[in-house]
Chain A
Amino acid sequence: MFLPQGKNTAYHFTLMATKTLPLPRPRLRLTLQQQDRRIAWLLVAPSLLIILGITLYPIVSTLILSLFNAPTGINQVRTFVGLGNYLAMLQDQVFWETIGRTLYFTVASVGLEMVLGLAIAQLIHAHPWGWQFLRISLIVPWAVPTIVNGAMWRWIYNGNFGALNGIMMQLGLIKHYIPWLTIPDLAMPLIILADVWHMMPFVALVLQAALATLPEELDEAAAVDGANPLQRFWFIRLPMLRPAILVVLIVRTVDAFRVFDIAYIITNGGPAFKTVTITYLTYLNTFSYGKQGTGAALYFLISIFTLAMAFIFIRFLYRPEETQV
């Protein structure tokens, strides 16, 4: 062997080759930004894969399913129906009634939650005696699981032994017990009340936290200028609260529109379908009626509705310069 032995062999070869071959790319240290980019993808990749795997894949697959007539069961043949499921739904009176009911629930419960939540946030902000206790108490209904909340109200509304009947009777408001949940026009308001109990604290807590960050000077200045409390609330605090209100409104509306658990446990959709919400209808189609294609089409209609609502709120309430709270 005539070649020099040792670690530097490759290096020597490289040196010898420089005359004829282009230089091997020098191994520069990556700039900080390049390093960051690599690390960033490494850090994001696991989450991204998980989210894509369990949301994007199912969505695409549901979208495809919604184009088929897909009865549940073994050996059932799927037939392609194009937009048939969507068209059938849009022409179905049950669908529009359900949408109407769901909007009723959404508007009423979110509306009540916002008004009560804002009022209670104001109350806490005024620091009456025991305001800290009130604030801590608000955590409790919010933390109670939705199903427990539903079970609790179901028992309160119970027609034979419930607390609502008991109280009304002892106050002399009713002469005999009333099966509240079987009254068609009353079932939904009662569910709304249960939802308000559960979620109003969330609105109150968020708005109270936002209130606490507002500067007091403006309020005081307006008071000196002779603005009454109502004017100060309407012209000063409310506009400053707008970003927080916007976010709470979107979050609550999107959730309320998809309500299922609470109707499922309090009324099972009854009486006479009067509390079947759009998610409930989807559930029934998919798992009870064995019409998966219809169910899948409904999922997309729900998504479109929620996106539209979020868009409308952002359109009307969002002011870019106010994003910071």
Chain B
Amino acid sequence: MTLRKFSRKLFLFLLTIPVLLFIFGPLIWLFSASLSTQVELFAIPPHWIPQHPTLQNYLEIIFPGLAASSVPRTFGLSLLNSLKIASAETVICLVVGGLAAYALARLRFKGNRAIQIGILGTRMIPEVSLIIPLFVVASSLQLINKPAVLVITYLSFALPYAIWMMIAFFQTVPIELEDAARIDGCGRLGILFRVVMPISVPGLISTGMFTFLVAWDEFFYALIFTSTLAAKTIPVAISEFIGRYVVNINGMMAGGILAALPPVLLGLIFQRYIVRGMTAGAVKG
């Protein structure tokens, strides 16, 4: 029996190996490429582990001036833009969306259900369908190439998503706690800020993480709404490494690692919250 159990364990363990290879293989190759010189990148057969690893690719895109062309030179700016935009997005979604989510989760009023369905319905809207009118308005307000325009347009998908997630989290707060606070003389807003919010901190972290990641990941709006190198976000900057005639592979690989690092680290650190957020957004939805 124990032998059977052992062989079963071994069999399952052996199954995990191809999965892990599939997950990490491409990433290891990306990382290895980011440390390679151009000569090694173009080696046949490929140098799986660079023989002369170098940080040159990273230095070129982190310290402007070292690089020859304009795309890698403005990479740092793009990183900063993305950071600013994603952070602003997160704060707005948590604050503005949090208030709405609480009302929708707990207060009875006419139209509550209709609003909730409407918010869920926005999930079905393709983001491309908003782009022409938004572009017209943005250019008449002279917002093109400003980070603000991306913060605003990202709200179109991030805010409904954040509200939807937070509704799910707020609904799990025991209503008895709210009743108790009410008897103790707490008003609605008091309940929200002193009872519901503190209990929902894990849920708020999940929501914040998701908002940040979605904003960090967004490509389409950023592609359309930014045209100057200084205004670009990270995904656009990476796509710019593919030029009309040449592809700057070194820059793209190092840039890719740098762009992936913040979300991956956040994801790993807040692993529990991520899964919770996925299931709140997905399973309860």
Which A residues have a C-beta under 8 Å from some C-beta of B? Answer: 33, 35-37, 39-41, 43-44, 46-48, 50-51, 54-55, 57-59, 61-62, 65, 120, 123, 126, 128-131, 134, 136-148, 151-156, 160-163, 166, 169-170, 177, 197, 201-202, 205-206, 209-210, 243-244, 247-248, 251, 254, 258, 260-261, 264-265, 279, 282-283, 286-287, 292, 295-296, 299-300, 302-303, 306-307, 310, 325
Instruction: For the complex, give the distance between the alpha carbons of A169 and B43 in Å.
Output: 13
Report the separation of the CA atoms of residues A205 and B107 in the bound assembly, to the nearest whole angstrom.
32
**Known contacts A143-B264, A145-B235, A254-B124; A206 and B100 CB within 8 A of each other:** no
- Complex Cα spacing A50 to B102, Å: 17
**Could you tell me the distance between the alpha carbons of A325 and B1 in the complex, rounded to whole angstroms?**
35
Docked complex Cα distance between A64 and B279 (Å): 38
Chain B residue with Cβ nearest A136: B271
- Asked whether B125 is an interface residue with its Cβ less than 8 Å from the other chain, the reply is yes
B226 to chain A, nearest CB (A): 14
Q: A147-B235, A302-B129 given. 20 additional CB < 8 A pairs? A: A43-B102, A50-B155, A54-B134, A61-B132, A129-B16, A130-B13, A137-B20, A138-B23, A139-B267, A143-B264, A143-B274, A145-B234, A146-B219, A151-B241, A206-B279, A209-B279, A251-B282, A258-B128, A299-B126, A306-B124
- If A47-B99, A145-B216 touch, whether A40 touches B22 (CB-CB below 8 Å) is no
Nearest residue, chain B, Cβ from A37: B109
Question: Chain B contacts of A205 at CB under 8 A?
Answer: 274-275, 278
Contact of A325 with B124 in the complex, beta carbons under 8 Å: no
Q: Are A54 and B130 neighbours in the complex by a CB distance under 8 Å? A: yes
Q: Could you say which residues of chain A place their CB within 8 Å of the CB of B9?
A: 128-129
Contact assessment for A161 and B41 in the assembled complex, using a CB-CB cutoff below 8 Å: yes
CA distance A114 to B141 in the complex (A): 44
Q: Are A44 and B115 in contact (CB under 8 A)?
A: yes
Q: Which residues of B contact A265 (CB under 8 A)?
A: 238-239, 242
Q: Tell me the complex Cα distance, A244–B132, Å.
A: 35
- Counting chain B CB atoms within 10 Å of each CB, which of A126, A153, A156, A161 scores highest? A161
B16 contacts A128, C-beta separation under 8 Å: yes
Per the bound structure, the CA–CA distance linking A303 and B126 in Å amounts to 6
Q: For chain A, what secondary structure do more than half of its interface residues adopt (helix, strand, loop), or is it mixed?
A: helix
Chain B residues at the A interface, C-beta cutoff of 8 Å = 9, 12-13, 15-16, 19-20, 22-24, 26-27, 29-30, 33, 41-46, 48, 96-97, 99-100, 102-104, 107-110, 112, 115, 118-119, 122-134, 152-153, 155-156, 159-160, 163, 188-189, 213, 216-217, 219-220, 224, 234-235, 238-239, 241-242, 249, 252-253, 256, 259-260, 263-264, 266-268, 271, 274-276, 278-279, 282-285
Residues of B within 8 A of A144 (CB): 27, 260, 263-264
B282 cross-chain contacts in A, Cβ below 8 A: 206, 244, 247-248, 251
On whether the beta carbons of B29 and A36 are closer than 8 Å, the reply is: no
The docked-state distance in angstroms from the alpha carbon of A44 to that of B249 is: 47
Is there contact, CB below 8 Å, between A33 and B108?
Answer: yes
Partner of B159, one of A47, A177, A283, A296: A47
Dominant secondary structure of chain B at its interface with chain A: helix
CB B148 to nearest CB in A, in angstroms, measures 13
Inter-chain contacts of B160 with A (CB < 8 A): 51
B239–A264 touching, CB < 8 Å: yes
A137: chain B residues at CB < 8 Å are: 20, 23-24
**Please, could you name 7 A-B residue pairs with CB atoms under 8 Å apart, sorted by A?**
A51-B160, A58-B130, A139-B274, A144-B260, A148-B256, A151-B238, A303-B124
In angstroms, Cα B123 to Cα A254, docked, is 9
Residue contact B260 to A148, C-beta cutoff 8 Å: yes
A156 and B29 contacting across the interface, CB-CB below 8 Å: yes
- The smallest beta-carbon distance between B156 and chain A, in angstroms, is 4
Known: A155-B253, A265-B239. Is A46-B124 also a contact (CB below 8 A)? no
Q: Are A145 and B159 in touch, CB under 8 angstroms? A: no
Q: Pick the 6 closest A-B CB pairs, nearest first.
A: A128-B12, A299-B129, A143-B267, A47-B100, A58-B133, A166-B46
A202 to B263, CA, bound (A): 15
Chain A residues near B264 (CB, 8 Å)?
139-140, 143-144
Q: Across the interface, name the chain A residue whose C-beta is closest to B29.
A: A163
In the bound assembly, the distance between CA atoms of A153 and B27 in angstroms comes to: 10
Contact B26 A152 (CB under 8 A): yes
Tell whether, in the assembled complex, residue B259 and residue A307 are in contact, meaning their CB atoms are under 8 Å apart: no
A145 and B20: CB pair below 8 A?
no
A47 surroundings in chain B (CB, below 8 A) = 96-97, 99-100, 159, 163
Contacts of B252 in A (CB 8 A): 151, 155
Q: CB-nearest residue of chain B relative to A169? A: B45
Contact partners of B29 in chain A: CB under 8 A = 152, 155-156, 163
Set of chain B residues within 8 Å of A44, measured between Cβ atoms: 99-100, 103-104, 115
> Do residues B44 and A129 form an inter-chain contact, with CB atoms below 8 A?
no
Q: Which of B16, B152, B155, B224 contacts A134 (CB 8 A)?
A: B16
Contact A54 B155 (CB under 8 A): yes
A47 to B19, CA, bound (A): 42
* A54, B131: Cα distance in complex, Å: 10
